Structure formats: C-alpha cells, structure tokens
Amino acid sequence: MGSQKPSSFSSLFFLIFSIYLFRVSNSALVPAIYVFGDSLVDVGNNNHLKLSLAKANFPHNGLDFPTKKPTGRFSNGKNAADYVAEKVGLPTSPPYLSLISKFRKVTNTTPFKTGVSFASGGAGIFNETNKLFKQSVAMDQQIEFYSLVYKTLVGELGSPGAAEHLSKSLFTVVIGSNDIFGYHESSDLRNKYSPQQYVDSMASTLKSQLKRLYGYGARKYVVGGIGPVGCAPSQRKRSKGGECDEEVNNWAAIYNIALKSMLQTLKMELKDISYSYFDVYQVMSNFLRSPSSFGFTEIKSACCGLGNLKADVPCLPIATFCPNRNNHLFWDLYHPTQQAHYMFANYIFDGPFTYPLNVNQLIAL
C-alpha cells in the first residue's frame, strides 16, 4: 500500500499541473512560445551541459530573480524571453534539457504545448562557432530537439491539430552574436572570408534553418538582430579609453542588413509566414548615445566582474557587483542587465524598432 502513495501523489500533481497549463493557455494571447538562440535568451539549458564553459548557474547571477538564486540565465534577473512570455500570458518556456533524462529520454511532455526553450549560451548559427565555449547546443541541434517536440505534438494533437496549434504560436530566434565574435577571434576565418562573405553565409545558413522550422509548423517568427556587440565591456576593455570596437560593430551592422533582406526574401518564398524583426542595434545605440534618457548612468563597465571595466574576470562568485543594477546597461562582460532586457521586451511587443510588425500585431494576424 505504501508504495502506491508516491504514484498517486505524482498522478495528482500532473493532473493539477495539466489543468493549470490548460487554463493558462486558454487565457494567453498565443498557445506557445518556442525559443531558439544563444545566451541572451538561455533560461537554463547550459546547466545540463557538463563540458560547457558558458554557464551562469552560480552567484551572482540571479541576484534580482524572484527566487534570488542563479537559474542559468546570464543576467542579474530575468531576460527578454521571460518578459515576452509574461506579456502574452504564458509561463517562461522551460529549458528543453531540463525535461529529458541523462539518457536523452523525455521525462515530461506537459510543457510542450505552452512552449519550450532550446536556447544555449555560446550557440551560433554555424556549428563551428560552438567550439568557442567547448560545448553548447548549436542552432542545428536546437532544431533537431524541436523536431522531437513536434513529433510529440503531432502524436498528441494529430497533424491538423498540431498545425493549428503551431501556426498561432511564436517562434523566437535570437542568435548570431557568437558567430561575429568567432569571426573576430579567428584569423583563419578572416583570411578565408571577407566580412561581407561571412555575414552573407550567416544569413543564408539561418534562412535554411528557418525553413526547417517552417517544415515543422512554424509560421510566426520573432527574430532579433545583433546589437553593437563591439560596445560590450569585453570589447571596450581592449582600448585605452574604453572605446567601442567599431570594426566589430560594423560587422554586426552589415549582418543585420543581410538578415533583414533574407527575411523579406523568405516571406516572398513562403507566403503564409509572418515575422517581427527586432532592431536591437538601433535600440542599444540609443541607450549608448543618450543613456540618461533611459535611466542608465553606466554604459561602459559591467556591473559584475573584476578588473578593467569589470571585464577582466567574468561574473564569478569571486567577483564584485554594483549595488544598483538598474542604472547599468551591462550585467557582465557580454550581457545586458535585467533592466535592459525589460526594455527590449517592451519594444519587441509594442514597438517601435520592430518591423514590419511588432509582436502585438503579429499575434493579431
């Protein structure tokens, strides 16, 4: 008799959780959000990668998260993925790797209907980019994981039901910064490709990846461009005056042009898709040009770290952190603060700087 109690409790728990998700999904603006990308939207996938050097599951990360504990987010608190989910009335899409066993067997499919995050710190559009941090989930592998979610949804909802569900869901893609850093750090790549050739290859590779997602039901895409990554503390610290690396910024800007052109072409080829492109480069540039207008007083130095601009040592437990995170643009040597992410989400959802539709308009289609 005693051995049956845990099973009964477990069944009751999942019944209650399923009812909760059903109610949430019925009141939400979209059925689900499926997230793909890098550390800007990673909510904990890298916690489950033993060899990865790109992890944030230790203090002082999560300092301002509701639990006050590190979650695997590269932030003092929430990131844009969390805030966009809140805006549409859904729970944050949980990390896919938290839903499977060490033997890669799915242990919980319940969240599949409201969304899953496949984003991984250090990930790139190119598989080779992942070598920068030893281990991460590249975009191709993220799509492979999603294909398993897709098959589960088809099995549970049927093909027409899954198609209907996914056609109304959001597919968020935030990736490419690590590919730019990879080009910057590799003399071999710079000798092999011109900046234009490299970013064109990034855009064409991402196009094929978005087409793969289309084959698995994606119809509404939310795609983030690359920000002025040459202004991150990790890049500023290399100059005597803490100036931005304009060469890196230029590569990012050239890629964004290629990305926007690619999305327009993709829309012409796949008539039944729609997309929101978030111009994070312009938003971040505004923050950098007129920080006080947005409540920032520190735009060069990281909040958490050690050394020059707090960028010589990452945000490790031995690092120090600023007392007022809301007035800093950067949390660590690469990533924005929770406050910046909150502002990003507002722009993504309501505009401006989100084209040709903001997410609120995208949902209404």
Q: Is 39 a catalytic residue?
A: yes
Catalytic residue among 38, 179, 245, 332: 332
Catalytic residue among 48, 165, 328, 335: 335
Catalytic residue among 39, 52, 93, 276: 39
Q: Is 200 a catalytic residue?
A: no
Q: Is 165 a catalytic residue?
A: no
3 state SS for the chain: CCCHHHHHHHHHHHHHHHHHHHHHHHHCCCCCEEEEECCCCCCCHHHHCCCCCCCCCCCCCCCCCCCCCCCCCCCCCCCHHHHHHHHHCCCCCCEHHHHECCCCCECCCHHHHCCCECCCCCCCCCHHHHHHHCCCCCHHHHHHHHHHHHHHHHHHHHHHHHHHHHHHCEEEEECCHHHHHHHHHCHHHHHHCCHHHHHHHHHHHHHHHHHHHHHCCCCEEEEECCCCHHHCHHHHCCCCCCCCCHHHHHHHHHHHHHHHHHHHHHHHHCCCCEEEEECHHHHHHHHHHCHHHHCCCEEEEECEEECHHHCCECCCCCCEECCCHHHEEECCCCCECHHHHHHHHHHHHHCCCEEECCHHHHHHC
Residues with catalytic annotation?
39, 332, 335
